[in-house]
Amino acid sequence: MQQKIIQVGNSIGIIIPQTLAKNSLKPGDVVNIEKDKSGETYTFSKGKISTSSITPHFFSVLDRVNRQYGKALKEIAER
């Protein structure tokens, strides 16, 4: 199914047909939008972002930053 992207104020939006949204989506629901690495495919899912969307690389960078700057960050936080 194709839908045209429309202008909504300063943003853009997509109309989700009632036939797709019926019994599963309603105004105010949270929808996650993810783009694949090629940037050509978007995936929509309902609900909160799961930790599975955080890559192992992110955790390795976080660990490295914590090892290198953890003490300084802790001191800043305690001020």
Q: How many CB atoms lie within 10 A of CB 48?
A: 8
pLDDT for 11 beyond 90 = yes
pLDDT for the residue numbered 53: 64
Residues 63 and 35 in one domain: no
pLDDT at 48: 64
User: pLDDT for 18-63, tens place per residue?
Assistant: 888 777 888 888 888 888 888 888 888 887 655 566 777 888 888 9
Query: What is the number of domains present in the chain?
Result: 2
How far apart (Å, rounded) are the C-alpha atoms in residues 52 and 32?
13
Mean pLDDT over the full length of the chain: 84
Print the domain residue range for 13: 1-48
Quick one: 9 and 36 in the same domain? yes
